[in-house]
Amino acid sequence: MSDPLVAALLGQSSAALAEDVSLATPVTAPRISGRGSVSAALRAYGDALGGPEATARLKGDEIEGVVYSSGADDGATQIVALAQFDPAGLISTVDVYGRPWPYIGRLMERMAKTAPELADPSLGNRPYVPDKSRTVSIGHPAIPPLAADVTLYSPILSGEPSGKPVVERILEAAAQSYSDLEVRAVLNVEGQAAFAIVIDEIVHGHVLELVEIFTLNAAGEVSEVRVFSRPWLVTAHFRKRMHALLKDILGPELWQGPDPQGPVPV
């Protein structure tokens, strides 16, 4: 996918970034500010992901983005990077989300060896609340019905459950695990019958930030749901709640990583 934004969001074109650009990573809570620091952080993520491939382009009225799939971890790790622009057309903010949680944990371990400042998942002493001064809450768009063979690419599971009954059950559990959902943006997926929703919700007192991508089949039904999240430690709280609700139908092979019944890892 040849696109200047694809390169800029991997830190390969610092000239595309505003001098005061800021970045939210999939792992850390505080934003990183400044062209040099943000460009270096984006390059570090690209290197740790092993040269990710851009697989989709997202476009909205005020936000654009790219989905990247990694060659590391047998291609299991994905990130989506969203960009906003200043009046000069330079990237002013970047927000990066990842999936699935266990593989982002492995990415975090690799990052700790080369860029430890990008691998600290601490949320600090207060509830995590992102700076959303540039965005406003909007209405939730209508979601078409799920296809019988729908597949879920979860932000927390190390596998892809499929079939309408099980995916519906997982989505119902998710709805029980958060509160105060707010939609920040709706984006089109270029060249595909698909759309993305940027969402904030409250989990364990913290804001969990999500990007949900819905792909439609020829009948207009949802054939695929792909969900990305940040920051890592809030996703860990979400994973723990979901495991309590779903351990009866989802086996241990889908819960790779730290014991979901144990303490939330720090």
* Residue 136 three-state SS: coil
Instruction: State in Å, rounded, how far the first CA of the chain is from the last one.
Output: 37
The pLDDT score that the predictor gives to residue 71 is 65
Length of the chain: 266
With a cut of 60, say whether residue 254 has pLDDT above it. yes
Rounded CA-CA distance 101/122 in Å is: 15
Tell me what percent of the residues of the chain surpass a pLDDT of 70. Answer: 95
Q: What is the pLDDT of residue 200?
A: 96
**Domains of the chain, start order:** 4-118 (3.10.450.50), 146-254 (3.10.450.50)
Q: What is the pLDDT of residues 28-73, one digit of tens each?
A: 999 999 999 999 999 999 999 988 999 999 999 889 999 999 865 5
pLDDT at 85: 96
pLDDT of 75 strictly over 70: no
Contact 186, 60 (CB under 8 A): yes
Distance in angstroms (rounded) separating the CA atoms of residues 187 and 45:
24
Instruction: Record the pTM.
Output: 0.95
Q: What is the pLDDT of residues 108-136, one digit of tens each?
A: 998 999 899 999 999 988 999 997 665 67
Average of per-residue pLDDT across 72-82: 79
Which pLDDT score is estimated for 222? 98
Asked if the model's pLDDT at residue 242 lies above 90, the reply is yes
Contact 188, 113 (CB under 8 A): no
- Return mean pLDDT, the chain: 93
Residues whose CB falls within 8 Å of the CB of residue 125, separated by 6 or more in sequence, listed in order: none
| pLDDT of 204 | 94
The DSSP bridge partners found for residue 17 are: 91
Q: Mean pLDDT over residues 1-29, rounded?
A: 92
Query: 120 is written with which tokens?
Result: 């600290």
Average pLDDT over residues 93-105: 95
Q: Collapsing DSSP states into helix, strand and coil, what is residue 197?
A: strand
pLDDT at 177: 96
Residue 172 sits at φ, ψ, to 5 deg, of: -65, -40
pLDDT at 154 (0 to 100): 97
- Which of 230, 223, 232 has the alpha carbon at shortest distance from 257? 232
Using a 10 angstrom Cβ sphere, with 0-12 exposed, 13-18 middle and 19 or more buried, the burial of residue 31 is middle
Q: What is the pLDDT of residue 72?
A: 58
The reported pLDDT for the residue numbered 105 is 92
Out of 69-73, 169-173, 194-198, pick the least confident.
69-73
> For residues 10 and 214, is the Cβ–Cβ distance under 8 A?
no
Chain position carrying tokens 């819960």: 255
What is the spatial distance between Cα 239 and Cα 132, in angstroms, rounded to a whole number?
Answer: 24
